[in-house]
Amino acid sequence: MAQTMTKTSPGFLDKEHTIAAPGFNRWLVPPAALAIHLCIGMAYGFSVFWLPLSKAVGIKESILCDHEVGFFQELFITGCDWKISTLGWMYTLFFVFLGSSAALWGGWLEHVGPRKAAVISALCWCGGMLLSALGIYLHQFWIMLLGSGVIGGIGLGLGYISPVSTLIKWFPDRRGMATGMAIMGFGGGAMIGSPLATALMKHFATPTNVGVMQTFIAMACIYFVFMMSGALSYRIPDSSWKPQGWTPPVAKNSNGMITPHHVHVKNIFKIKQFWLLWGVLCMNVSAGIGVIGMSSPMLQEVFGGQLIGVAKAYGELDKTQLAAIAAVAAGFTALLSLFNIGGRFFWASLSDLFGRKMTFIIFFVLGGLLYISIPGSANAGNKLLFVAAFCVILSMYGGGFSTVPAYLADLFGTQMVGAIHGRLLTAWATAGILGPVIVNYMRDYQLSLGLPREQVYNQTMMILAGLLMIGLLCNLLIRPVADKWFMTADELAEEKRHAREVIAEEEVHFIEDEGQGREAGKPTQPAMVWIAWAMVIIPLSWGVYKTLINAAKFFT
């Protein structure tokens, strides 16, 4: 085997070239993952472009298309502006292609390694933005859908799952915390990207141009630098590595929920625990994502003039008062985003202490009680309890995303957890349709019955609480995976060879003087760790600062 390995030199993107040398500091890997997730997380903030793009032709005011112009005509028409509802299809495509690409190429990612997948993610995400800029220049919406929606969506999927398996292998002692740090970045991407995009559009705007095309180009270049820096910083441990002084907890785990064995991704759809966990994620996300898009109008319609000290219902307010409560609601939305992001790290880290199953039990029981309490706090006019309930709910929504990769690793092993995670993200795509449909259509139905606006969400909260009870049942039914589904020693060895992993230190030898294989074993300098973290903490802190300014509007 040694002779075979010395014949060819692995390229810098190949998995063999990313194996960490002895002395590598594992704390360099989370900032690399954050650098990628903070960039692709801008998918959550793309709505900041909708209003300017809806005036791309008219500049000052939208030039409306004729009534007979349908969606397909809007894909190619150049003489009138796009509707915001049409632009929203790009947002839909983001998450459809995120889930589908993660499911399709998760197994490939495990074999080629996180670096190659992350580089392709950067090319797709940033290249998609450049293609969208061309679509804006030509005023061809189909190019924008292809660019950011399809190609960018594929980049989202690959970038989202690229660090999962790697982080779990580097932090077997803190699986939840490690994945929580990375996935927190995806939730925080819009906190940085939205104010950055707003500032860039303001800078590039002219009397004849809304500045979105130039903003896309600038952000694509900025994101490409950050994403490539993160991708090229990825390192993976050889399979014999473990944290110094750490002992696997399997012996203490009498219920067998943390397995030392590994399931092959080709069998995952046959295992009931996977589908139960699919239901857990789908129900948790459906309930949370259903209120994210409606949080601002919900607060305004429920409390109306109370938000600005006026004793009037929402329908009785004038334009000036409506604008004032809209500003307050924007602060509420910013506050929710902070809890969404903070919950990703807090709950995932807590799951290392409580266990993944118990953490999700807390999500569903506490979340269900909070949803049930919301109509009561709304009827009582208690704004504080209303807002506090939604803040905790959104923290658990984010926490579900960051806890589930560790749950997968506990149940199915770490060998192919990235690929299995990719399959599971189809639950997110499903929830992205189910949650908003329930909230939006129930609202319209309640309004059609003549209910006051402040009461139209009462039944919806009960339905969302019911979804969480379904998720709770799925979670309670999860048991350890049967032994028949785990790979045998021979199958695992074959998979490791197929994935080009180093099974033991002495099994693979590279010729150092030819520049092949791993670097010499030099301990990582502490300054490098501090610099790597500073590169992601500084922009993230700026985003938090900007969000806090918006959130302050809620309290003033």
Q: In the prediction, which pLDDT does 507 show?
A: 39
Are residues 138 and 97 part of one domain? yes
The per-residue pLDDT for 83 is: 86
Q: DSSP secondary structure string, 480-533?
A: PPPGGGBPPHHHHHHHHHHTT---STTT----GGGT-SSPP--PPPHHHHHHHH
pTM to 2 decimal places: 0.85
- Angle between helix axes 319-354 and 175-204 (nearest 10 degrees) is 150
Do the domain assignments include residue 250?
Answer: no
Tokens 């390995």 sit on residue: 5
Give yes or no: residues 263 and 396 share one domain.
Answer: yes
- Asked, for residue 363, whether it belongs to a domain, the answer is yes
Whether 181 and 97 share a structural domain = yes
Residues 145 and 63 in one domain: yes
Averaged pLDDT in 10-residue chunks for the chain of 556 residues: 40 83 91 95 87 89 84 86 85 85 90 93 97 96 94 95 90 90 87 91 92 96 97 89 77 62 94 97 90 76 83 82 81 86 94 94 96 89 88 94 94 92 91 80 78 78 93 96 93 80 42 38 82 94 89 77
424 shares its domain with 316: yes
Whether residues 163 and 205 share a domain: the answer is yes
CA 283 to chain centre: 16
CB of 120 closer than 8 Å to CB of 158: yes
**Claim to verify: residue 203 and residue 277 sit in the same structural domain:** no
Domain membership of residue 530 (yes or no) is no
**Within a domain: residue 146?**
yes
Question: Which amino acid, residue 19?
Answer: I
Measured CA to CA, the distance from residue 124 to residue 126 in angstroms comes to 6
- Do the domain assignments include residue 554? no
Number of structural domains (the chain) is 2
Is residue 12, in this structure, part of any structural domain at all? no
Residue 16 belongs to a domain: no
* 442: containing domain: 256-490
Same domain, 177 and 325: no
Tokens of 156: 């989202």
pLDDT attached to residue 424: 95
Q: Is 500 left (phi over 0), alpha (psi -120 to 50) or beta?
A: left
On whether both 190 and 318 belong to a single domain, the answer is no
* Residue 547 in domain: no
**Does 264 lie in the same domain as 235?**
no
Residues 197 and 61 in one domain: yes
Same domain, 101 and 204: yes
Residue 284, judged by CB atoms within 10 A of its CB (0-12, 13-18, 19+), counts as: buried
Residue 437 belongs to a domain with what CATH number?
1.20.1250.20
